[in-house]
Amino acid sequence: MSIANLKYGIKDKQYLVTVRELRTRNFKRDLPFLILSQKLPEGQVYREFSDGRIEQQEVYTVGKTYHYRVLRVLPATEAEKVREEYGLH
């Protein structure tokens, strides 16, 4: 393993720790956790809730305010795949 790969691995691990901490903090405050995915069309995101539900939502603005429209609620198996993909276990 090269030094560059080792440094990348450490930064990646630190990033995951930070993301998991933010997720936990949001859930403790009864707030959803935003998951950005390049696999979704532009203007769409996943929002995960403390009850385990993940919604695929469209984000749009009205003036300076962001709004979300639920496109669908992911089935449990698909929600689990999203968590696995982003290291959110």
The per-residue pLDDT for range 39-67, each reduced to its tens digit, is: 999 999 999 999 999 999 999 999 999 99
Q: Are 47 and 32 in contact (CB under 8 A)?
A: yes
CATH of the domain at 27: 3.30.160
The per-residue pLDDT for 9 is 56
CA atoms within 13 A on the CB side of 14: 6
- The total number of structural domains in the chain stands at 1
Summarize the confidence of residues 4-21 as an average pLDDT: 69
Query: Is the pLDDT confidence value at 5 over 80?
Result: no
The per-residue pLDDT for 44 is 97
Summarize the confidence of residues 12-37 as an average pLDDT: 92
The per-residue pLDDT for 14 is 84
Q: How far apart are CA 87 and CA 89, in angstroms?
A: 6
Residue 52 domain boundaries: 3-85
CA triple 34-12-9, angle to 5 deg: 165
Nearest of 48, 75, 70, 49 to residue 58 by alpha carbon: 70
The per-residue pLDDT for 6 is 40
Q: Are 48 and 88 in contact (CB under 8 A)?
A: yes
Q: Are 56 and 50 in contact (CB under 8 A)?
A: no
Query: Is the pLDDT confidence value at 10 over 60?
Result: no
